[in-house]
């Protein structure tokens, strides 16, 4: 009796089967030890769509690629003094409160202005505020709020003001090398998992410092060490531009927002908008500028001369009047915003379409066809008998 020979292909197939079996066993052990969902295939996750909180600034929402700041993630907003960092955080809180969400503000700088927050649309009666005595206290309060899973957004203003307790108790002039960096690194290690599990958005506002002796390259750095740069899913750089004047009076300034890091969408997108004193970034003004920018290729608002039009409806002559019209007609503003978001949404690639088609075809193929009942009808001997072909040829 001849021995059965095994080929390399058979061995590979056998090894692959064994590996799959071992993997299944390992997954079952992990599930039993740590619970359902402790490890799974990425495609099996039900929450593939990222949940976001709008910033209230449509141009920034679109630049972020997912429609806002992602929940369950850490976000860093940094830039020079008086550039609008706190304004962006407060406008995000205002948008969250419109949907019934809860927010907390850790004011380490002790510089919160309730009147300005109200002007931006924040409901200060519903906003949780903490002014901690030290960096440790501020971060512990933030951790407790995150663990409660009852707060949707936590803002920490600012990282530079999170002074370690040892530095507060020491004398001015004492050296505390790396103390704040270690504090931030430890806090972020502890909080990162909880932030994801509770789906809380945590916003760190940060300042800028300059390294001494840097001749080439950018000397600017953010305080608090490198840990925040790694743990942050999104980093937004805020820069102050030229002054905006109404006659001789300065009423605001141009603001440049750059997404320098983005783990949920392509990064490095830049937005230019206007920051008004006392009002922040006005939603409708920003939206009109976004819709009429030729680079965005949007067909929502048209401009003929100095007039702004939405379809057959005239919004007003000049940006100020058009924006004022949308302030008085919020339903039109919402309709325009919805169309801009729809037209700006990323379109599915041809490869994705092909994958979806292939999946559908595979699903159809995997369905077993109904077995037809067998009959006792004898097959045609001439048709199935190999020898008959030879006979036909000879004949």
Identify the helix (H) or strand (E) that includes residue 359: helix 350-366
- Strand pairing of 209-210 and 153-157? unpaired
Q: Which residues contact 241 (CB under 8 A, 6 or more apart)?
A: 253, 254, 255, 256, 272
Residue pair 105/130 in contact (Cβ under 8 Å)? The answer is yes
- How far is it, in rounded angstroms, from Cα 342 to Cα 255? 25
Helix (H, G, I), strand (E, B) or coil at 216: coil
Q: According to the 3-state scheme, what is the secondary structure of 144-192?
A: HHHHHCCCCEEEEECHHHCCCHHHHHCCCCCCCCCHHHHHHHHHHHHHH
Q: Is 86 annotated as a binding residue?
A: yes
For helices 283-292 and 319-328, give the axis angle rounded to 10 degrees.
120
Neighbours of 211 (CB within 10 A): 10
CA 32 from centre of chain: 32
196 CB contacts (<8 Å, ≥6 apart)?
72, 73
Tokens of 41: 């295939």
83 is in an annotated binding site: yes
Question: What is the C-alpha to C-alpha distance for residues 164 and 182, in angstroms, rounded to an integer?
Answer: 10
* Sign for the pseudo-dihedral over CA of 95, 97, 100, 102: positive
Residue 330 marked as a ligand binder: no
| 82 marked among binding-site residues | yes
Tokens of 272: 């230019």
The continuous run of DSSP H or E covering 139 comes out as: helix 135-148
* Side-chain-facing half-sphere of 391: CA atoms under 13 Å: 8
79 is in an annotated binding site: yes
Give the SS3 label for residue 357: helix
Cβ–Cβ < 8 Å for 153, 195: no
Residues making up the binding site: 79-86
Residues making up the binding site for ATP: 79-86
């Amino acid at each position: 009796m001849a021995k059965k020979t095994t080929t390399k292909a058979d061995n590979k197939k056998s090894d692959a089967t064994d590996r799959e079996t071992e993997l299944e066993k390992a997954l079952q052990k992990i599930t039993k030890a740590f619970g359902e969902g402790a490890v799974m295939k990425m495609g099996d996750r039900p929450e593939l769509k990222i949940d976001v909180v709008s910033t209230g600034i449509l141009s920034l929402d679109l630049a972020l690629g997912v429609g806002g700041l992602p929940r369950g993630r850490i976000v860093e907003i940094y830039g020079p003094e008086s550039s609008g960092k706190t304004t962006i955080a407060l406008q995000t809180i205002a948008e969250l409160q419109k949907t019934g969400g809860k927010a907390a503000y850790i004011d380490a700088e002790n510089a919160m202005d309730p009147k300005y927050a109200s002007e931006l649309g924040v409901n200060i009666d519903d906003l949780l505020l903490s002014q901690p005595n030290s960096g440790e206290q501020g971060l512990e309060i933030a951790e407790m709020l995150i663990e409660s899973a009852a707060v949707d957004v936590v803002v920490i203003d600012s990282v530079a003001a999170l002074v370690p307790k040892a530095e507060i108790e020491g004398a001015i002039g004492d050296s505390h090398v790396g103390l704040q960096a270690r504090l931030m690194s430890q806090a972020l290690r502890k909080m990162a998992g909880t932030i994801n599990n509770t789906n809380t958005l945590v916003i760190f506002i940060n300042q800028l410092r300059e390294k001494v002796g840097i001749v080439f390259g950018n000397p600017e750095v953010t305080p608090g060490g490198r840990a925040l740069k790694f743990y942050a899913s999104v980093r937004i750089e805020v820069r102050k531009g030229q002054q905006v004047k109404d006659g001789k009076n300065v009423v605001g300034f141009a603001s440049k927002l750059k997404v320098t890091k983005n783990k949920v969408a392509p990064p490095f997108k830049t937005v230019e908008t206007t920051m008004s004193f006392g009002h922040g970034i006005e939603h409708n003004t920003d939206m009109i500028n976004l819709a009429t920018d030729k680079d965005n290729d949007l067909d929502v608002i048209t401009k003929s001369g100095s007039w702004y039009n939405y379809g057959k409806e005239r919004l007003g002559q000049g940006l100020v009047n058009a924006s004022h019209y949308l302030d008085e007609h919020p339903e039109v503003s919402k309709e325009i915003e919805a169309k801009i978001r729809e037209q700006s949404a990323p379109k599915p690639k041809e490869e994705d379409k092909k994958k979806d088609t292939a999946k559908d075809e595979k699903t159809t193929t995997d369905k077993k066809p109904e077995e037809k009942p067998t009959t006792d009808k004898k097959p045609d001997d001439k048709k199935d008998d190999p020898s008959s072909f030879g006979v036909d040829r000879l004949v």
